[in-house]
Amino acid sequence: MIALNPNFIGTVDRAPAEVQAEERRIEWEALNPNEKFVPRQKARGKSSSVRRYLRRQANVVDSKREEIKKTLEEQAKEREDARKRARGEDPEPPRTALDRFTVKKRKV
């Protein structure tokens, strides 16, 4: 008759993760002597609820995002102006007498 050790059943292997990984590596190399062991990352499943949440967050308009967008546009304009000044061009063309009759852009 085969009997199991009642003291062994229900116990948890408390070895650190590094020791367990090393044991797995040694066992794998013993079974596959011609190949080198390369640990795989655990695959994560697709969570449709998280994906849906992130997709909706991309469309949310908030004040922080608008401020960041505005500052990025200002920085890009400043870089372009600096680039033009370095080339010797005027960042904005000089105004003429007839410019006062043109349609002006409104600031939003």
pLDDT in tens, 75-97: 999 999 888 888 887 767 778 88
> Which residues, in sequence order, are CB contacts of 39 under 8 Å at separation 6+?
21, 25
Cβ within 8 Å of residue 29, ≥6 positions away: 37
**What's the average model confidence in pLDDT over 28-44?**
78
Q: What is the pLDDT of residue 70?
A: 94
The pLDDT of residue 15 is above 70: yes
Q: Give the model's pLDDT for residue 108.
A: 63
Mean of per-residue pLDDT scores for the chain: 82
DSSP H helices in 32-62? 48-57
- Does 71 have pLDDT greater than 90? yes
The distance from CA 86 to its chain's CA centroid, rounded to whole angstroms, is 35
Structure tokens at 11: 């116990």
Phi-psi group of 95: left, alpha or beta (phi > 0 → left; psi -120 to 50 → alpha; rest → beta): beta
- pLDDT computed for residue 77 by the predictor: 92
6 φ/ψ angles, rounded to the nearest 5 degrees:
-70, -20
Q: Which residues are within 8 A (CB) of 28 and not within 5 positions of it... i.e. 6 or more apart?
A: 37
Full-model pTM: 0.35
- Within 13 Å and on the Cβ side, how many CA atoms surround 32? 7
Domain ranges of the chain: 48-88
